[in-house]
Amino acid sequence: MSRKHQKKNDIPDRWLDYSAVGRRLPGTRFIAFKVPLNQALTQKLPASAAFGPWELLDAVSRERQELGLIIDLTFTTRYYGPQDLPESMMVVKIATAGHHIPNDGAILSFKRAVRNFLRQNQNNDTLIGVHCTHGLNRTGYLICRYLIDVDGMDPAAAVNLFNSSRGHAMERQNYLDDLHHGPKRSNAGMEESGAEPTRGQATSRPTPTEPPRLNAAAGYRSFPPNVNSWPRPQHDRPRPGFPPPFQQYRWGAPPPHDDRRRRPHPERNQFRPPPPAWRPAYTPNEGGRGPAPQPHPQYSPRWAAGEEDWTEDWTPPGRRQSSRGGWWQNGQEF
């Protein structure tokens, strides 16, 4: 994808850094906001940051105001069109290049659009919404230029009024220098008819689309793969009368809570080793286990006399003493 095509389908630079809609300028019909985006662009944003024509209508309605006209100052048509605007909105397009002071033709077109709207809406209090990309520099310059040239407001007061109402201060120094120190523009031809506003064509709010489930930034899927949706080879497809082929991945539900606390049963748990067969700790006839432990001696009357060789009188039951100091039993010497 070329860089030009990629930029065409992206959110405007620094668009998220500015608030969506400002407040109505006191004593005027103006209200400034950043450019609303069509659904193809807003679906790339989280729901809390989305701002389109319908969100603009909701924001103005929450302030108990009514928007009668939109003056679009952007130098492109990719952000939205008449098909994205509600039928209750009217829009006038005045293409104005950014970073440069608007020429006299753009200033005169702006004054004509405002004067025609005020003349046709003398009996109501509907607002004139003005926006550029961020709703700040071109928007602030033309609104302040109208207040200075037509309403006779002091340049510093006009700039302060706009900045406080928009919630952001104008940033372009060349715009500020022209407003404070530049000459006033002529109002000749201001009362003539200008470009006719275009009415919106959208009859209902668009249905929000589900965001893509593939996390492209991280490069992995955040949900289990749907194996059944993958294309299968011809020999692997289920045939009538035969069981379905074996699926490698199974995403089953976790076991109930009582099974997690229950003691595992050897017959049910194939990973639990079988218990060892019982065997005594020592078997006398088993080879390689060492000598048998000495039996406990029986009582002898010589113990009380304090004799030390009392072991000569003691013989284990069922055994006889040998001449070598051991005992015999069943033909074996111990």
Strand partners, 322: none
pLDDT band at 6 (very low <50, low <70, confident <90, very high): very low
Dihedral sign, Cα of residue 129, residue 132, residue 34, residue 173: negative
Amino acid 5: pLDDT: 45
Q: What is the pLDDT of residues 134-157, one digit of tens each?
A: 999 999 999 999 999 999 999 999
Class of domain 7-199: alpha beta
Q: Tell me, letter by letter, the H, E, C secondary structure of the chain.
A: CCHHHHHHCCCCCCHHHCCCECCCCCCCCEEEECCCCCHHHHCCCCCCCCCCHHHHHHHHHHCCCCEEEEEECCCCCCCCCHHHCECCCEEEECCCCCCCCCCHHHHHHHHHHHHHHHHHCCCCCCEEEEECCCCCHHHHHHHHHHHHHCCCCCHHHHHHHHHHHHCCCCCCHHHHHHHHHCCCCCCCCCCCCCCCCEECCECCCCCCCCCCCEECCCCEECCCCCHHHCCCCHHHCCCCCCCCCCCCCCCCCCCCHHHHHCCCCCCCCCCCCCCCCCCCCCCCCCCCCCCCCCCCCCCCHHHCCCCCCHHHHCCCCCCEECCCCCEEECCEEC
Is residue 311 predicted with pLDDT exceeding 90? no
- For residues 57, 59, 61, 64, the Cα torsion angle rounded to the nearest 10 degrees is -150
Of the residues 138, 145, 166, 185, only one is catalytic, namely: 138
Amino acid 1: pLDDT: 44
Active site residue 138: yes
Is residue 332 predicted with pLDDT exceeding 80? no
Amino acid 294: pLDDT: 66
Amino acid 207: pLDDT: 80
pLDDT band at 10 (very low <50, low <70, confident <90, very high): confident
Spatial distance between the Cα atoms of 47 and 91, rounded to a whole number of angstroms = 25
Q: What is the pLDDT of residues 254-301, one digit of tens each?
A: 655 554 555 555 555 556 666 666 666 555 555 555 666 666 665 666
Spatial distance between the Cα atoms of 158 and 176, rounded to a whole number of angstroms = 11
Cα 302 to its chain centre, rounded Å, is 94
Q: Which residue has the higher pLDDT, 308 or 181?
A: 181
Q: What is the pLDDT of residues 28-67, one digit of tens each?
A: 999 999 999 999 999 999 989 999 999 999 999 999 999 9
Residue 159's contacts (CB-CB under 8 Å, 6 or more residues apart) are 140, 144, 170, 176, 179, 180
The answer to whether 31 and 65 have CB atoms below 8 angstroms apart is yes
Amino acid 175: pLDDT: 97
Q: What is the pLDDT of residues 92-111, one digit of tens each?
A: 999 999 999 999 999 999 99
Active site residue 144: no
Query: In percent, how much of the chain has pLDDT > 70?
Result: 60
CA distances from 183 to 5, 80, 188 (A): 40, 35, 15
- Each domain of the chain, given as residue ranges in start order, spans 7-199
Spatial distance between the Cα atoms of 128 and 118, rounded to a whole number of angstroms = 9
Of the residues 24, 112, 132, 144, only one is catalytic, namely: 132
Q: What is the pLDDT of residues 196-247, one digit of tens each?
A: 999 999 998 888 765 544 444 444 444 455 545 555 555 555 566 666 655 5
Is residue 165 predicted with pLDDT exceeding 60? yes
Q: Which residue has the higher pLDDT, 319 or 121?
A: 121
Spatial distance between the Cα atoms of 31 and 279, rounded to a whole number of angstroms = 93
Place of tokens 């992206």: 10
pLDDT band at 195 (very low <50, low <70, confident <90, very high): confident
Q: Name the token pair of 276.
A: 């060892």
